[in-house]
Structure 1
């Protein structure tokens, strides 16, 4: 039975809070308290709010930016980048941050495909500004540059001029979140004001409960993607954001900031957790304030998980969630992390986030029983509005209201989800499906192996066979044949990699993730792809 609430007139309002209000509210409550830290500089909540409002007025009055317009951002982490997010939302514009490590040509394609009206560009990226110029109407520079008007000069010119946020509806776009582009060009996932308000609430509920103004959060990833979502949740609860002074990831600096600012939470990926935990500086600085080390982007290998728990204690929080669902699919809180295998659901990425529903489905969309592998699908308020100007991708990614993640996995009887890998990572050897993650977990049990990635390559006899790319631990010199002999008996014969190569380090994305796409490209570039065995 449906209930008509309209009274036969106009539909009930779908208006929601403008996301810029998160900053306004924290500035109202906390005023002169420190809200943002970058190196030795600090900004109060009131200063951040005033700067964001001034830049919003500059965008509207000097460049004519209006509700629904897209503003592309090409910048390393800085206070201006963060302020631009709230400024865009204040006038109803859509924030379109790029992965700043992309080439000038790649970012120019983002400008064109998003139909951006303007570009906010770090002074170090003159080539990017030049490449984007034919596709945008204006450019604003951050820091010293030879292009565009300076961000801070615009802020100063419009300081002290009040500007109320525009009204927005639940489905009004706020952020174009570009996928990492594991296959083909990146796609712009449309994140909306209503969806993002749910995401922020969910992050605070499921990932870091009891987080508030006495806390601090250090940023160890680009604000253009997951870290930006995480820091928005900090703003919502008046938590100060701490940016490292250097652009390059430095464990010594991160741990010193944890001690100095009494950091209580951070968001990162498993490879960065591994680097932080294994660096000697972890034992030099006081980290007793750290309550939540949140990791996502990929499951953490069990050996790394145990090492982190032994070193840091019960602070690990895992979540699984693509950019399209803004991280909101599953959560594994500290109470479900255990160094003792007897008490740990090894391999799980947790259970469904509050307000979300998760299924493992077969190719026809049927919900599979516990233990059976299929594609992970999700519905709920955190699911994005679809890909911008990409009906083909939308048709492929949604089925009967469910968003299809492209990830494979299975559930247990209690609803805990276990990832097997991406559909694109699975390969078929001799007619049998091979899921690389299972093999990678086993190889990492070898005492001489620090990192590993297994992927399938063509083979005339078996269809595909596995190649294991390994990084050895310091001072270890493992042998490929010896490693395969050690692995024999630990996995089924058809799952055994046919070849092993050793590299000094793995190629990683701008977010610290190890991706099979990058590894395959590096194998080809180095000439390490094996010749087929007849």
Structure 2
């Protein structure tokens, strides 16, 4: 099934239900959202034919309407990040071959820079801010003048979205999805979370990310539920929205969850309506699950996914985490996941070389929701996609019951004295210290050992490097070669992407460069 057909069914069944509610009080029913997205689809076809449209916007109805309009055209919407550099924006738009650009007030300056490339045939501004550019049209005027009926021949294809990887080490890679691939992710979300038309979801993560698109927006639209769009994350404002709209579900990455828990602990907002919390995107500790269960909801879902394959490779339901703390769960219904002996990037891993329970290997996955590859990175595509499988580059292990545990990224591992060291293991230990906010571990070149463990520890307490090292020495789970040999204590937050992924290279440059 295609997402365009799934949304048409929702609009027929629940025309008067609120589809989108904004944090500034605007409200659009499914019938209104259906008409507005149709008008945008016809307007874009008049201006750029079958050309793709890029969108640069905060979480807003405009972003949602553009997604739906793309589906109705059968032409992918480029979901651009507003947090990358101007150079990266140009590269992202060029990789996806965008011919139209839709943007909001908050991103007008970046959009005008992007228009200077001369690559766009149409530009549409949604907002009240004056924009001095002769080729930019008003979004509401464009919709008012457009036909409310789709012309014959639409949708003309099955494209859905161009989504972008996190880009922690380079320019984000462009990944093209069709409507059936993302439909699988949407339906998995509906099934696993039990979403129906009575639900109200709070959207706090940026709309342009895979997890927001296919784990949150599309599942709720497919089910006929309501989505409250939080334009930019603020923990107190998010909790106010939960209380004001009787929100039933929240998607938040671990860094956001910690902030929500901290505010809720002090302010005590009315969050009784919350039925569940979904998280993932970074390591979810037992302590975070316990704190979230106490502050927000005891129904915490830990999930595992990636841009190239969708957000729903695995689900760890609350009941599973009770007996298997730290797990990301088992493979979702349309996926096959194996943990196999890893291989260098120059060679494909053997799908049949699975490791025994308790042993570590690399996660590979396949399923109908997987993308076909990168638009703009043939070398990376050759290294990641093989024989219908996707290499995740994640190190993991399964227990005897088949539950998956993510250890670290293959690329983060380093060797000290001939032993493999996975930074995430050590980070979890350091972060279990009651005064530590977060930590990053990496290998520091050493003439004798090859590399030694180095740590950057974030705390607001009066914690010393010696105390951190003593804490690690006293922890039974850390072998001697895994203990930090150097440690930097700081009160500056670690650099992360907006999905919570630690930007290790930037951090190493910051501290080792000093």
- TM-score, normalised to structure 1's length? 0.88
Instruction: State how far apart, in whole Å, the 1-side matches of 2:45 and 2:509 are.
Output: 48
* Aligned partner of residue 166 in structure 2, secondary structure: coil
Indicate if the aligned counterparts of 2:495 and 2:506 stay in contact, CA closer than 8 A: no
From 56, 60, 74, the counterpart of 2:41 = 56
**Cα displacement string for residues 69-125 of structure 1 (whole angstroms, at most 9, x for unaligned residues):** 321111111111110111111111111111111122211111112211121122333
Instruction: State how far apart, in whole Å, the 2-side matches of 1:53 and 1:165 are.
Output: 14
> Which sits farther off after the overlay, 255-264 or 143-152?
143-152
Indicate if the aligned counterparts of 2:495 and 2:507 stay in contact, CA closer than 8 A: no
Cross-structure match for 1:188: 174
Cross-structure match for 1:116: 98
RMSD: 2.0
Instruction: State how far apart, in whole Å, the 1-side matches of 2:222 and 2:429 are.
Output: 41
Instruction: State how far apart, in whole Å, the 2-side matches of 1:159 and 1:501 are.
Output: 61
> Which sits farther off after the overlay, 174-183 or 126-135?
126-135
Instruction: State how far apart, in whole Å, the 2-side matches of 1:511 and 1:25 are.
Output: 33
Cross-structure match for 1:22: 6
**Cα displacement string for residues 210-265 of structure 1 (whole angstroms, at most 9, x for unaligned residues):** x2121100111110012122111110011111013xx4422121111111211111
From 119, 137, 140, the counterpart of 1:152 = 140
Indicate if the aligned counterparts of 1:480 and 1:500 stay in contact, CA closer than 8 A: yes
Paired residues, number = 495
Q: Report matched runs for 1:165-244 at 5 Å.
A: 166-167=154-155, 172-206=158-192, 208-209=193-194, 211-225=195-209, 226-229=211-214, 230-244=216-230
Instruction: State how far apart, in whole Å, the 2-side matches of 1:253 and 1:184 are.
Output: 33
Indicate if the aligned counterparts of 2:495 and 2:503 stay in contact, CA closer than 8 A: no
> Which sits farther off after the overlay, 279-288 or 417-426?
279-288
Instruction: State how far apart, in whole Å, the 2-side matches of 1:382 and 1:122 are.
Output: 31
Instruction: State how far apart, in whole Å, the 1-side matches of 2:381 and 2:499 are.
Output: 28
Unaligned runs of 5+ in 1: 1-15, 339-343
In the TM superposition, residue 407 of structure 1 has moved relative to its aligned partner by 0.6
CA shift in 2, pair 1:510/1:48, >3 Å: farther
In the TM superposition, residue 484 of structure 1 has moved relative to its aligned partner by 0.4
Indicate if the aligned counterparts of 2:337 and 2:363 stay in contact, CA closer than 8 A: yes
Indicate if the aligned counterparts of 2:19 and 2:29 stay in contact, CA closer than 8 A: yes
Indicate if the aligned counterparts of 2:58 and 2:106 stay in contact, CA closer than 8 A: no
Instruction: State how far apart, in whole Å, the 2-side matches of 1:203 and 1:374 are.
Output: 27
From 462, 466, 491, the counterpart of 1:477 = 462
CA shift in 2, pair 1:400/1:161, >3 Å: closer
**Cα displacement string for residues 457-516 of structure 1 (whole angstroms, at most 9, x for unaligned residues):** 22222211222211225xx21111111012104111100111111222324445251413
- TM-score, normalised to structure 2's length? 0.92
Cross-structure match for 2:346: none
* Aligned partner of residue 331 in structure 1, secondary structure: strand
